Each structure stands twice: as C-alpha cells, then as structure tokens.
Structure 1
Amino acid sequence: MTHLSRRMALLGGAALLGGCSAISALDAAATPLDTYDLRPASGAASGRSSAATLLVALPEAAAPIGTDRLMIRPAPASVTYLPDARWSDDLPVVMQSVLVRSISGTGRVAYAGRTDGGPVADTVLLVRIDMFEVEVTAPDTFVAHIDITLTAIDDRTQAVKASRRFAQSAAVPNSTPTAIVSGFQRIIDVIAPQMADWAAGQA
C-alpha cells in the first residue's frame, strides 16, 4: 500500500467514526421527551361580573424560565433542567393558556382570551413570571416555587388600573418529572383561582 493509500484509508476510518458519533448524537437529540401540561383552576363564579373584554398578554420571563424545559436550581447562582421532560410549549405560552382558561371559567367576564387574537380589549392583563423553578434546598430535598405578578391595564387610556403579586411554594418529594409537575400543579390549584378572581374584578 502506498503512503497516499494508507493516508486515505486512515481518513476514511476517521470519517466513519465521526459519522457514527454524529448519528449517535442525532439519535439522542431525536429521542422524544416526556411532555407535561398544567391544568387551569377557575376562581369563584360569584362576585363582580363585567361585560368587558379582558385579554391576557404573553407573560414576560427571564431567559432561563422562558423555555419548554423544567427548571431546577441546585444552587442560588446556577440553574439546570430535567434531562428527560419538557412542557407542552414554552412556559410563558403554557401559563398564558392557564390564565385565560382560569379567568374564563369564572363566567364573570364577557370574553377572556389572548392579546394575539380576538376582539378589541377593554382591559389587558400583563403577566410577569419571576420564579417558576424547583429549588434544591438540601440533598434530596426539593421545593417548587412560583412567583407571578399581574398588572391590569386600561387598553383605551393605557393607564395602570392595579397590580398584584401571587407567590406560593410546595414541597416536592423527589426530582422525578411526575413529582415536580405535581408540585407545580398544587401551586397552580392555589394561585390560579386567586389570579382569576383578581383579574375578573379588574375587567
């Protein structure tokens, strides 16, 4: 075998190995993740009702929160994500849907929807997600946190009508996706009715 032939053989072998590595990486990337969603929780049907239209804006969130991955905070200055689970959409979209359905479920607003569709708004609900994570407080000790601020805006005058923060935590027994999503859902079951009641009262 000539020097050139040996060199080509070596390059061919290296390319084959590289191709195998690339295929393995693609296979790993193509492996579907378990997908989770959050259920709405409506507020009280009794209370002040309105014939107004209330539209919920897409929530604002910092980059680590605004993805479709379940966020874990192992230390105050670091974040990571569950490797084998995802939300059904980016978290702001998921929470926008939860809020719209929770407010609509009260029956106290003529129309509740998203700002990217539907009729002209009377009131726009701005949403800021400041925390949506699981904190590792000690080895094998996990706490889910949600912290959301709502601001009601008069769409005609652009004046702020009111603003309120909603925050809640829940212990999570382990770091499995099912346990973590259940922890978030328990929090939603508490604060979504509160947010829906408050928002309906601002419409």
Structure 2
Amino acid sequence: MAFFVTLRSTALGLSLLAMAGCSAISSIQTASKPLDTFELSPLPAGTVSARQSRRYLEVAMPSATGAFASDRIVVKPTPLKIESLPDARWINDATEHVQLLLVRSLANSGRFALVTAAGSGPSPDYVLMTDLRAFQAEVGPESVTIVIRSTMSLLSDSDGRVVSSRSFDSSATAPDTSREMVVAAFDAAMTAHLTEVLDWIAKTPLR
C-alpha cells in the first residue's frame, strides 16, 4: 500500500512540475511576443499659413505623469483607472513622440528658420514648453473617445520671459474598440491638436 501511495505522490509531483513548466514556457512566449508599433502623423507643410522668421525654436521634452512616460498606449476604462491597449505600443515614449510631432510639424510650417528638440541644436531664440495633461483613450458605455490636453508656453530663451501661453483640448471618437480604429482616432485628435498649436504660434508676435 505504501508503494502505491508513494507512486501516486510521485505522479502528482511530476504532473505539477509539468504544469509549472508549461506555465513558465507560456509566460516566456507571451513576454517575447512583439507588440504592434504605431506612429502618429505630423502636420505637412502648408497646413497653417505662417509668416516666416529667422528665429530658432527649441521644443522641450513635455512634462507629464508617469503614465505617459512610457511607450504603452494609455486606456482609461474609468476616470481613476489606467490600463494599456493590448499588444500595442507607440514608436517612442508618449512624451517623446509628442515632442517629435511638434518638432516636425513646426518645422514644416516654416514659421522658424530652425526647429529642434531640446539639446540637439544651436542656442535657440525661443523655447516651447509643454505640459501634457492627457493623452489617452477614454472608454464610455457605447464608444471610445481619444482625449489630448496640453498647456504650452512659448519662452524667450535670452531672459526666460513668457511670450505667450495657452491650453489646448482635442478629442476624437473611435467607431469601435479595435487597435487600428483607436490609433486612427488618436491620429485625428493629434492632427486637430497640432493644427491649433501651429495656428497659435503663427499668430504670436516674435521679436
């Protein structure tokens, strides 16, 4: 009888080890699965009419909460809960991605002789500071709404004077919850956001 008890215990132990091994392999396979990568579009030249200047502009890295200091696409099922869009990521951390979109869109506008990211060009005449307050998909009972909010300040680099400051709030609705539709709605909201930013910059007097 003791033999059979021992045999059953051994078989159970091997079974548990096998299950644990399968679980570990499954976890490794899931961890190694590449995430689909998405990139938003900067504004092309001619989107906003702007008077050209010979000034240099530096776009600082946006400040934001930790949720946006990551390449994951933020989803908020409730106002206080933060999740990520499954199996998807931005091409850069969200803050860096927004910075590069601003750099490329402002460069395409022709408003400045040179537009660079912070620390990558000569001493600028102006610096654009951004506080990224929202960059997320908000899940409602029947739809998904993309929300992008920011406050931007244009500073004179020579004396730190605030030339102009303004808040922006853009949104777009995704027709369904698929990753492609959510990202397409992000692109629409970002296009509206960038258009407002460029229009504000174009109308701001520069010395």
TM-score (norm 1): 0.87
Please list, as runs of the form range in 1=range in 2, the aligned pairs for 1:162-177 lying within 5 A after superposition. Answer: 162-177=164-179
CA distance in 1, matches of 2:55, 2:17: 65
Residues 53 and 110, structure 1, Cα contact 8 Å, conserved in 2:
yes
What runs of 5+ residues in structure 1 fail to find an aligned partner? none
Which of residues 83, 89, 94 in structure 1 aligns to 2:92?
Answer: 89
Instruction: Please provide the CA RMSD for this pair.
Output: 2.5
Alpha-carbon shift at residue 18 of structure 1 (Å):
3.7
TM-score (norm 2): 0.85
Which of residues 13, 29, 32 in structure 2 aligns to 1:30?
Answer: 32
Alpha-carbon shift at residue 153 of structure 1 (Å):
1.4
What runs of 5+ residues in structure 2 fail to find an aligned partner? none
How much identity, in percent, do the aligned residues show?
34
Aligned length: 201
Q: Which portions of structure 1, spanning 4 or more consecutive aligned residues, are displaced by more than 4 angstroms?
A: 6-17, 42-45
Greater RCO (Cα-Cα under 8 Å, separation 6 or more):
1
Please list, as runs of the form range in 1=range in 2, the aligned pairs for 1:126-145 lying within 5 A after superposition. Answer: 126-138=129-141, 140-145=142-147
Change (3 A) 1:188 1:105: same
Q: Which one has the bigger strand percentage?
A: 1
Counterpart amino acid of 2:132?
Answer: I
Which of residues 178, 181, 184 in structure 1 aligns to 2:180?
Answer: 178
CA distance in 2, matches of 1:47, 1:94: 24
Please list, as runs of the form range in 1=range in 2, the aligned pairs for 1:86-125 lying within 5 A after superposition. Answer: 86-125=89-128
CA distance in 2, matches of 1:93, 1:199: 20
CA distance in 2, matches of 1:22, 1:164: 51
1:54 aligns with 2:65: no
